[in-house]
Amino acid sequence: MLSESLAATENYVSDSSWYALYTRHQHEKMVDQILTNKGFNTFLPLYATTHNWKDRSKSLTLPLFPCYVFLKGGIERRLQILTTPGIYGLVSSAGQPAAIPEIEIEGIRRVVESGARVEAHPYLKCGNWVRVKNGPLTGIEGILVRKKNISRLVLSVEILGTAAAIEVAAFQVEAVNGPRLRDCSNGTQARSRYTRDQATALP
């Protein structure tokens, strides 16, 4: 039993996978700052938007994935993570922190850093898989959707059951054989099959 525990700890120490932290509403920026100050490698994708009221308008930067902050490695310091104010827990599968594919994080990062307009989008489980073939986002893959003659590339984070979209021109993308997408008979949106590891459930 002890040897298994030590082996698990060693795996976490050398782990460089990405994970998702589930946070309180509107606490994402605070959590990101606190964890960064603690020495953790975090990623909080933001997007710019404008809220309009009757008498004024205000430009805001909001989390692209509300209530989530991404964390690279550092799971061996789980106690320090879960006791951080504003964090509810780690997104988990079968009782273990669920790793997010690097390609999903890098796709989101490149889109955010490109300066292009990006926004939250419902998670899709079916559609036409394409790859951007030119421009600053060359190589990024996602699902192409069209609405009112506007094409959008939808980038999904499967573990969270959430997605983000960016406008693209049809000539910028090409069809590719993407990952096997789940059956679409029940609609175009899917629920995440993962759970949130509550802070009270410490090992």
- pLDDT of 195 reads 58
Residue-wise pLDDT for 70-95, tens only, equals 999 999 999 999 999 999 999 999 88
Domains and their CATH numbers in the chain: 2-198 (3.30.70.940)
pTM over 0.75: yes
Confirm if 51 and 58 have CB atoms less than 8 A apart: yes
Residue-wise pLDDT for 91-110, tens only, equals 999 889 999 999 999 999 99
Confirm if 47 and 118 have CB atoms less than 8 A apart: yes
The Cα–Cα gap between 81 and 18 comes to 14
The Cα–Cα gap between 84 and 106 comes to 25
